[in-house]
């Protein structure tokens, strides 16, 4: 597929979706949301893809909504609603796509950009990158399920602070508060993201799928139900070739070569 507002590539089991409006700091327009959704679908269907990396071209991850377009005031009420639904669809898709998603925050992640990052499974940041939620400061509100997801990551008190003050958080502090999983010095960022992606890509695909699904619903799953769901997950894994490969590799003291079968 060809895309207007993103760059899409796959290598060594890792699919990269790179937001590509650097002249606008990768600010969001409808076409960008459409392209991200289409790229996620492509990565989902590609059996070679184990992990998805979402990042930005240039000096920003995503500077949020393209306020230049909003400022024209040309959208009807229906068009505004459709735009917001599409924004929600992208965040929901990032959480529900069955493959792990790494948000590689290479620069500013603002508003809608921060929402996409938080909707991913992992956030990795450049030390100098900053993430923040400016919505309340400009008279609007957060979207993408952030009022539900963010407290699960950083706790309700910290989530209140981030959303109500719009304070900018750099990589080291984001890791300290459990918003990001890792940060790297700027000149080590690309290599660090690639190494982390490969670490996950080496794992069994079905097991990864089960882990993502169960962990993303952990807050709503009673303990007794989790026991049953995990049991069924283990039994499902035991019917696969990858399960046997994992057992054989352990016995032979080598790294497993999973195929997703």
Enumerate the active-site residues: 115, 135
Residues with Cβ within 8 Å of residue 151, at least 6 apart in sequence: 159
Kindly write down the DSSP assignment for every residue of 132-150, as one continuous string.
Answer: E--GGGGT----TTHHHHH
> Angle 146-154/156-165 helices, nearest 10 degrees?
130
pTM of the predicted protein model: 0.94
H/E stretch holding 18 reads: strand 14-19
The length of the chain is 261
178-224 residue pLDDT tens: 999 999 999 999 999 999 999 999 999 999 999 999 999 887 889 99
101-120 residue pLDDT tens: 999 999 999 999 999 999 99
What does the domain layout of the chain look like in residue ranges? 6-201, 205-251
Q: How far is CA 147 from CA 34, 55, 141, 211, in A?
A: 24, 23, 10, 23
117-163 residue pLDDT tens: 999 999 999 999 999 999 999 999 999 999 999 999 999 999 999 99
Specify the pLDDT at position 217: 86
H/E stretch holding 119 reads: helix 112-119
Q: 6-201: what fold?
A: 2-enoyl-CoA Hydratase; Chain A, domain 1 (3.90.226)
Specify the pLDDT at position 174: 98
pLDDT at 69 over 90: no
Residues 32-53, mean pLDDT to the nearest whole number: 97
What whole-number percentage of the chain has pLDDT above 90? 89
Beta bridge partners of 123: 103
H/E stretch holding 19 reads: strand 14-19
Specify the pLDDT at position 186: 97
pLDDT at 12 over 90: yes
């Amino acid at each position: 597929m060809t895309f207007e507002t993103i760059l899409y590539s796959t290598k060594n089991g890792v699919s990269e979706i790179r937001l590509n409006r650097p002249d606008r700091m990768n600010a969001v327009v409808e076409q960008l949301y459409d392209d991200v959704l289409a790229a996620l679908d492509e990565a989902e269907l590609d059996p070679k893809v184990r992990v998805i990396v979402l990042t930005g071209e240039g000096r920003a991850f995503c500077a949020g909504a393209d306020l230049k377009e909003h400022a024209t005031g040309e959208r009807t009420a229906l068009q505004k609603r459709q735009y917001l639904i599409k924004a929600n669809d992208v965040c929901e898709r990032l959480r529900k796509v069955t493959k792990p998603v790494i948000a590689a925050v290479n620069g500013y992640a603002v508003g809608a950009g921060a929402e996409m990052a938080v909707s991913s499974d992992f956030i990795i940041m450049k030390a100098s990158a900053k993430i923040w939620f400016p919505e309340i400061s400009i008279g609007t509100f957060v979207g993408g399920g952030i009022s539900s997801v963010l407290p699960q990551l950083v706790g309700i008190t910290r989530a209140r602070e981030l959303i109500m003050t719009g304070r900018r958080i750099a990589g080291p502090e984001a890791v300290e508060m459990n918003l990001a999983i890792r940060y790297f010095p700027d000149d080590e960022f690309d290599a660090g993201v690639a190494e982390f992606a490969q670490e996950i890509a080496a794992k069994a695909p079905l097991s990864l799928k089960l882990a993502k699904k169960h962990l993303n619903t952990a807050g709503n799953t009673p303990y007794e139900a989790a026991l049953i769901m995990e049991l069924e997950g283990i039994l499902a894994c035991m019917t696969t070739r990858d399960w046997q490969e994992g057992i054989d590799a352990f016995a032979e003291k080598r790294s497993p070569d999973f195929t997703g079968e």
